[in-house]
Structure 1
Amino acid sequence: MGPELPAALRAAVEALLEGASRKDLARRSAQVSNTYRGGGSSATAIVEDADATAYVLSRLPATYAAVAAALDEVRVAAPDFAPASLLDAGAGPGGASWAALEAWPRIAEARLLDASPVFLETARRLAAAGPAALAGAEMRRGDLTQPGEGWRAADLVVTSYALAEIPSERLEAAVRGLWAACAGVLVIVEPGTPAGTARVLAARELAMREGAMVLAPCAHQQACPLAAPDWCHFAQRLPRGRDHRLAKGADAPFEDEKHAYVALARPDVCRAAPAARVLSPPRAGKPGLEFRLCTPGGIERRFVARRDRAAYAAHRRLRWGDRVEDA
């Protein structure tokens, strides 16, 4: 099971929900989801405080879990990276900032940038319960396609579930601004759809033209070898609380957040040796295990026979998205 919200954030969410009608929040959650699925933006989905609260209840646990998973991969790929400053661009209610502070508690300065004043106010209320860097974070209203003062350099720049709201013709300006603001590592997380992966790959290509090195999830620095209709994405399982289930009209005590991501680094960030990655859920059968891997040499299919006990023992706990050091 994936990461839960930190205890302080859970308490802040509970305070945000205090006195709110769960029925109204469920209705608003459905409306927000329908707006986003229909291609709408936060400007139309998040109009008032109650909309942002509904988003926090229904979507924050999943977006937090996806970002936390991506940041965990950064820590493995660049174990000596120790950011002191953070820019959360397109921050929404600030879930990515919380995930960053969990990954690197020594971050001393945080800035949250978003076009929605409603989201920023919600982020401020939640951040007040967080570590000092969050409680004192600068909350700035800004457009991702128009870099300005809010884009001043930070060691770690994170943008999550934000590029989807940017018209394709303005994506390049946004990515160039993000990379220019990055002094160390840039992490981009998007929904795990073909369109989300396409945006991540476009951002990857643009940043690499500017000298970025790929930390994760890719095992190489070349163009993505996957061909349509396939696409690179992963799934992060996370627990659902009672209110979360009610807001989503769901019975299952967990959900799987499918996401696409890329972590890009300045050349002076020390990187671990590249490793292959499991690209889809492994298939277990009586003869053994089948894997599809992204390797430094391209896409590889690997079969591990059950009778090869040592290899089988080494591979049987691998899951979708895991690194494979021996490939």
Structure 2
Amino acid sequence: MTSPSLPAALRAALDAKLEGLSRQDAAGRAALISKTYRDGGSSIAIKSEIDALAYALVRMPATYAAIAACLNALVEERPDFAPKTLLDVGAGPGTASWAAAEAFASLENFMLLDINPALQKLALELGRDHPRLGAMTCRRDPDALDDVDAADLVIASYLIGEVSDAERSGLAERLWTKTREVLLVVEPGTPAGYERIIALRRDLIARGAHVAVPCPHDLPCPLQPPDWCHFAQRLPRLRAHIQLKGAELPFEDEKFSYVVLMREAPAKRAARVLAPPDVGKVEVAAKLCTAGGVAIAKIARRDKAAYATARRWRWGDAVAEWI
């Protein structure tokens, strides 16, 4: 399984970029960029090399951890999937490409698309010494998505929230057109992020896509407001990460919503744990999304083997259906 921590080579590349940089200046820029995103802005706020680096130091660890969790779920469901080509759409500093390179040793070709020149330049510099990412190709022209070749694996992470409501359906179709086998879309784990994922999921299922994970079915999402489907990944904070964010805890929890869609229907899909299970002395109670909808699985302590297994369930895990 891919670790949620940044790879050592990426940490070293970031550290090298930090040499001689004013941490106070970088922290101020990072705070401004974060506020822009919270206010509904986009990567247009990232205009310089220092802006791009500040953004990468603050957001790259959490984004990487979320994407790694999604790819781990995919590998668990499809251990035979061995993509050779990746299309990283809205690549930013190349976070998804790094996560995919860690998850799939089979990847040979990396195409990164991003309209921000500062982020694209940083992506190329961070991957320069990587044995496979060093040969990545980047494009930032607005028509690049329509021009590039289709890829075995397409990833769009934290991207669809940056386009207008009117553009999202068209973007979903364009992403799917470029997908030979598997498409991963990740968004923040907020109600709004979930709604964007569900809309894309619905549109692409109508075009013949099948859900690989996290859903155990291609049916409409059974959750009803105010509930929404999201997951969390805990990750350690780097020292520079702590300094720039003014954080106190040595870790943070990144919440995300996602969907992995594929061309072929899976032979079988596991149920998914939708919230932290309630582990008691008498039983384990867990909220599951199953092929038949949402249900509460209750595993009694008297069933020793099943209880021992259920005690290890974590939010987001794929599990055998117990009900």
TM-score tier after normalising by the smaller chain length: over 0.9
1:139 aligns with 2:134: no
Task: Report the equivalent of 2:147.
Answer: 149
Alpha carbons 2:113, 2:145 under 8 Å: kept: no
Aligned counterpart in structure 1 of residue 279 of structure 2, from 284, 295, 306: 284
Alpha carbons 1:46, 1:118 under 8 Å: kept: yes
1:294 aligns with 2:284: no
Structure 1, 303-312 or 159-168: larger mean CA deviation: 303-312
Task: Report the equivalent of 1:250.
Answer: 247
1:34 aligns with 2:73: no
Shift of residue 142, structure 1, vs aligned partner: 3.6
Deviations 1:77-115 (CA, angstroms, capped at 9, x unpaired):
112111010000000000100000111122111100011
Q: How many Å separate the matches in 1 of 2:3 and 2:194?
A: 21
Aligned counterpart in structure 1 of residue 314 of structure 2, from 312, 315, 319: 319
Q: How many Å separate the matches in 2 of 1:142 and 1:236?
A: 33
- Structure 1 residue ranges (4+ consecutive) displaced by more than 4 angstroms after TM superposition: none
Aligned counterpart in structure 2 of residue 178 of structure 1, from 175, 199, 202: 175
Alpha carbons 2:211, 2:262 under 8 Å: kept: yes
Task: Report the equivalent of 2:105.
Answer: 105
Structure 1-normalised TM-score? 0.95
Counterpart residue identity of residue 40, structure 2: G
1:308 aligns with 2:303: yes
Q: How many Å separate the matches in 2 of 1:28 and 1:183?
A: 39
Q: Match of 1:148, SS?
A: helix
Alpha carbons 1:235, 1:259 under 8 Å: kept: yes
Shift of residue 306, structure 1, vs aligned partner: 2.7
Alpha carbons 2:222, 2:294 under 8 Å: kept: yes
Shift of residue 272, structure 1, vs aligned partner: 5.2
Q: Match of 1:237, SS?
A: strand
1:223 aligns with 2:223: no
Cα separation, partners in 2 of 1:142 and 1:224, compared to 1, 3 Å? farther
Q: How many Å separate the matches in 2 of 1:131 and 1:209?
A: 39
Deviations 1:111-139 (CA, angstroms, capped at 9, x unpaired):
0001111110111111102232x111111
Q: Match of 2:269, SS?
A: coil
Shift of residue 276, structure 1, vs aligned partner: 0.4
1:233-272 correspondence runs (5 A): 233-267=230-264, 271=266
Q: Match of 1:59, SS?
A: helix
Alpha carbons 1:2, 1:238 under 8 Å: kept: no
Structure 2-normalised TM-score? 0.96
Alpha carbons 1:287, 1:305 under 8 Å: kept: yes
Structure 1, 11-20 or 153-162: larger mean CA deviation: 11-20
Alpha carbons 1:293, 1:300 under 8 Å: kept: yes
Task: Report the equivalent of 1:59.
Answer: 59
Q: How many Å separate the matches in 1 of 2:214 and 2:293?
A: 13
Alpha carbons 1:90, 1:112 under 8 Å: kept: yes
Cα separation, partners in 2 of 1:80 and 1:227, compared to 1, 3 Å? same
Unaligned runs of 5+ in 2: none
Counterpart residue identity of residue 148, structure 1: D
Q: Match of 1:232, SS?
A: coil
Q: How many Å separate the matches in 2 of 1:143 and 1:74?
A: 30
Alpha carbons 2:290, 2:321 under 8 Å: kept: no
How many residues end up aligned between the 2 structures?
Answer: 321
1:117-136 correspondence runs (5 A): 117-132=117-132, 134-136=133-135
Q: How many Å separate the matches in 1 of 2:91 and 2:267?
A: 29
Task: Report the equivalent of 1:212.
Answer: 209
Counterpart residue identity of residue 27, structure 2: A
Alpha carbons 2:46, 2:118 under 8 Å: kept: yes
Q: Match of 2:168, SS?
A: helix
Deviations 1:135-156 (CA, angstroms, capped at 9, x unpaired):
1111100448x84213x20000
Q: How many Å separate the matches in 2 of 1:210 and 1:88?
A: 21
Among the aligned pairs, what percent are the same residue?
51
